[in-house]
Amino acid sequence: MFLYRLLTIVFSPLIFNHLLWKSLRFKQSRFLLQRLGFGLNHIPQQCLWFHCASVGETNTALPLIYELRKRNPSQKFLVTTNTTTGAEIIARQEQAWLFHAYLPMDWVNTTRRFTNQIKPLALYIIETELWPNLIDVFHKQHVPVTIINGRLSEKTTATNRWIKSVYKSTLKHIEHIYVRSRIDRDRYIQLGADQNKVSILGNLKFIPPNKKNIKTQKTTDRDYIVVASSHEGEELEITECWNQLNRKELLVIAPRHPERSEKIIKQLAGNNIAVRSKKTPVTEDTKIYLLDTIGELTRWFVNAKVIIVAGSFIHRGGHNILEPAHFGKAIIFGPHMESFEDEVEILLSGSAALQVTSIEDLKNILPSLLDSNTAREQLQTNATRAVEPFTRILSDYADIVEHQLKRVGSSPI
């Protein structure tokens, strides 16, 4: 820990300059202030604190937060993120009891300043992030820290000996780690976690969305397919593939990072594109609809003929394929799904999705799937059946949080 803390001090000028640059880029002064442990007066004390790195983790945590709030209507919650896109997700909730702040940088004084102001009941880290100073401060303040929906990549467990020693020291101060799968359990233990403090509880990303709160998109009545969470290079390759097929359906592209919108528009120049952020209307001649906004993707899932889950045609590791499965959709994804091995196994073993090996393979499969109601309906039925067993995961996690807080005697839950 000494060396880790020394390095954070040595590199602090570079880190500060980076934070300042991002704050100016996003035009958010609170991004810089809160990452330094200031600007927290709007957050009440005694919140339940959930830390979510970015959009994916935030969307994972929200159903659990809503379930806990339903069980105790007086409880307030804080969600911290590292990114502005994660902050936007929280802002869209428009709940007076749900607060957002940016996670303080992992400097001892900054972390203490942050935690001393908000005095949380407990901290729940979603999935992966292990910040040694933050966790050490909480341990010394006797505030329980729990990892929820824990996951670890093989790359993390294969890191060098010194980083492993820091992780091992940090994991000793975690009250418990609730992981998604046996693979994740084994990896946490390999990294140094006490095996008695690691339990398999399932993947919160497997739970069904609350469809009652999801409105269908009203932008167009045309048939369409969705390319979900695309990354650099995928938009152009998939668009070229789509143009070669000369289909009548609308191609809806939802980039993982909407701030790339202008760059994508330039890359796809020559196509008839409507852009959501510019409120461009969709006509019969529109070829592509660029959904460059946050929080609207699931609306487009509802009536999509096919959903292509991107991040899987490049070495990115893929994205969550179970979310569209909960909508009972025909799903296609590419070869690079390393971050979602369990999800791939669930859907492929149930013949509930199609995995292609390349963009060329995608071009060969799409026409038959789009033209055959029978083929699509079979995938849709299988997708719905594959995700049925996961309806209890949410209540299981909520029960765990309730039990922990009652045991420490700190919560009215």
Answer whether residue 268 is part of any domain: yes
Answer whether residue 413 is part of any domain: no
Query: What are the CA-CA distances from residue 329 to residues 314, 363, 386 (Å)?
Result: 23, 19, 12
Query: Is residue 157 domain-shared with residue 175, that is, in the same domain?
Result: yes
Q: What is the SS3 assignment for 166?
A: helix
Q: For 251-290, how does the pLDDT look when each residue is reduced to its tens digit (9 = 90+)?
A: 999 999 999 999 999 999 999 999 999 999 999 999 999 9
Query: Is residue 384 domain-shared with residue 402, that is, in the same domain?
Result: no
Tokens at residue 326, please? Answer: 């909960």
Count other C-beta atoms under 10 Å from residue 371's C-beta: 10
Q: What is the SS3 assignment for 409?
A: coil
Q: What's the confidence (pLDDT) of residue 56?
A: 86
Query: Is residue 36 domain-shared with residue 143, that is, in the same domain?
Result: yes
The strand ranges marked E within 110-171 are 122-126, 145-150
Q: What's the confidence (pLDDT) of residue 411?
A: 46
Query: Is residue 113 domain-shared with residue 126, that is, in the same domain?
Result: yes
Query: Is residue 400 domain-shared with residue 265, that is, in the same domain?
Result: no
* Cα separation, 221 vs 205, whole angstroms: 30
Report the b/e string of 330-366 with b at 16+ CB within 10 A.
Answer: bbbbbeebebbebbbebbbeeebbbbbeeeebbbeeb
| pLDDT tens sequence for the chain (413 residues) | 778 888 888 888 898 998 899 899 888 999 999 999 999 999 999 999 999 998 889 989 999 999 999 999 999 999 999 999 999 999 999 999 999 999 999 999 999 999 999 999 999 999 988 999 999 999 999 999 999 999 988 888 888 888 889 999 999 999 999 999 899 999 999 999 999 999 999 889 888 877 777 889 999 999 999 999 999 999 999 999 999 999 999 999 999 999 999 999 999 999 999 999 999 999 999 999 999 998 899 999 999 999 999 999 999 999 989 999 999 999 999 999 998 888 999 999 999 999 999 999 999 999 999 999 999 999 999 999 999 888 889 999 999 999 888 876 544 44
Answer whether residue 340 is part of any domain: yes
CATH (domain of 350): 3.40.50.2000
Tokens at residue 147, please? Answer: 């990892």
Structural domain range at position 319: 211-388
Count other C-beta atoms under 10 Å from residue 234's C-beta: 24
Q: What's the confidence (pLDDT) of residue 26?
A: 85
Query: Is residue 265 domain-shared with residue 191, that is, in the same domain?
Result: no
Query: Is residue 332 domain-shared with residue 305, that is, in the same domain?
Result: yes
Query: What are the CA-CA distances from residue 44 to residues 30, 34, 47, 98, 111 (Å)?
Result: 17, 15, 7, 10, 17
Query: Is residue 284 domain-shared with residue 323, that is, in the same domain?
Result: yes
Q: What's the confidence (pLDDT) of residue 409?
A: 59
CATH (domain of 178): 3.40.50.11720
Query: Is residue 115 domain-shared with residue 79, that is, in the same domain?
Result: yes
Give how many domains the chain has, as a whole number.
Answer: 2
Query: Is residue 144 domain-shared with residue 242, that is, in the same domain?
Result: no
Query: Is residue 152 domain-shared with residue 221, that is, in the same domain?
Result: no
Q: What's the confidence (pLDDT) of residue 301?
A: 96
Query: Is residue 40 domain-shared with residue 160, that is, in the same domain?
Result: yes
